[in-house]
Amino acid sequence: MLLSKACIYGMRASLFMAAMHKQNRQFVPIREVSDSLDLSFHFLTKILQQLTAAGLMESYKGPKGGIALSRPPKEIMLIEIVTAIDGDALFTECVLGLPGCGHKKACPLHDKWAYTREAIQIMFNSTSLEELASKGKRMNLRLSDELTMEDLIKSV
Amino acid sequence: MLLSKACIYGMRASLFMAAMHKQNRQFVPIREVSDSLDLSFHFLTKILQQLTAAGLMESYKGPKGGIALSRPPKEIMLIEIVTAIDGDALFTECVLGLPGCGHKKACPLHDKWAYTREAIQIMFNSTSLEELASKGKRMNLRLSDELTMEDLIKSV
DNA sequence: TCTATTTAAGACTTATTTGTCTTTAATATA
DNA sequence: TATATTAAAGACAAATAAGTCTTAAATAGA
Ligand code: FES
Ligand code: FES
């Protein structure tokens, strides 16, 4: 599996927040996110705490509280979410699991893997939440098992 | 993590066997592989059983027994080992974990991920055990924490 | 035939990830 | 000030992955 479940849920929630962004909302309650995306509320809460700890989201307690992206979706790249939750092992470690991946201590797959993992990194590094949210709205793509982004935005 | 530990160990063992191939050896005892690569003997045994079940290796019981690649290393591609142990989820499933990845039910990341995962697949699909074994010998690359392929071959 | 060697099979344990539940702290509003 | 609402924190449980151990079956060689 490329990404952990926690990371996947964190990305889905971030995309949801990006889609919400221009809906004149301030803070969105986590319960609303978890219900919309059909995720465990408590599990998602813990994941979002990692994102707020990483400075990607802000949270506010009490009535009218919830979470919000700390920057405009255009300025948040997917790789920030991935590394905040899964770390950067995917982009730095040996594909054969040997310690200290690098030119100096290479395994037989090093050159090919270094090239391929850079392609993966570029994918996450060059994709913003805004790009995916607007594409998702325009083409009516889905963010949960059956519901599209338009469905989700309407339903709240 | 891109590949499971079981898959990684299976690849390391397969590369070891490819390096052994022209050493006039018939069957190599699993104990020799696990000792050389510093892997758990019993855990490796279970992994190798998956590879023999998939037809990639042959095994023989008793004295002079052990395991052997069932085809010349040139004809065994890495992707066969990966899919035998980890399945093809990495090459078929949605990066956001949604069921039924495909054009018809796309998520916002689908196009980019479909492209990237194909690059990963091509890497495994176009790399043979022979290529890695000969490169590893030629450039004296490592297959375990500290030991290079030459070290390993000499040590048996 | 007997013994030592080796893989096969499966029960079992440990570690990690995933998911649930309860309590606490902060805050808006009445 | 009292109450309802919300995130934070952390204990707890379940599921999965990783690793260990024991016994059985096959086979070479004495
Ligand atoms: S050393 Fe193995 S991928 Fe770099
Ligand atoms: S539907 Fe998400 S990657 Fe294909």
> Over the stretch B72-124, which tens digit does the pLDDT of each residue have?
999 999 999 999 999 999 999 999 999 999 988 899 999 999 999 999 999 99
Taking all residues of chain A, what is their mean pLDDT, rounded to a whole number?
96
A142:B116 CB<8 A: no
Distance CA B68, CA B27 (A): 5
Whether A42 shows a pLDDT value over 80: the answer reads yes
Ligand 2: residues with CB < 6 A are B 94-96, 98, 101, 106-107, 109-110, 113
Q: Shortest CA distance to A108 belongs to which of B152, B80, B91?
A: B152
Task: Using pLDDT thresholds of 50, 70 and 90, give the confidence band for residue A137.
Answer: very high
Backbone angles phi, psi at A142, to 5 degrees: -100, 150
Query: What residues of A are in contact with residue B1 (Cβ under 8 Å)?
Result: 1, 89-90
The pLDDT confidence band at residue B49, using thresholds 50, 70 and 90, is very high
Q: Among B95, B123, B132, select the one facing A108 at the smallest CB separation.
A: B132
Domain positions in chain A are 5-140
Architecture of domain A5-140: Orthogonal Bundle (1.10)
Identity of the amino acid at A11: M
DSSP state of B141: -
Classify the C-alpha dihedral A109-A115-A119-A124 as positive or negative. Answer: positive
- Please, where are the H alpha helices in B54-128? 78-86, 89-92, 110-125
In this prediction, residue B110 carries a pLDDT of: 98
**Cα–Cα distance for residue pair B44/B48, rounded to 1 Å:** 6
The continuous run of DSSP H or E covering A89 comes out as: helix A89-92
Residue pair A12/A144 in contact (Cβ under 8 Å)? The answer is yes
- What predicted TM-score, i.e. pTM, was given to this entire model? 0.96
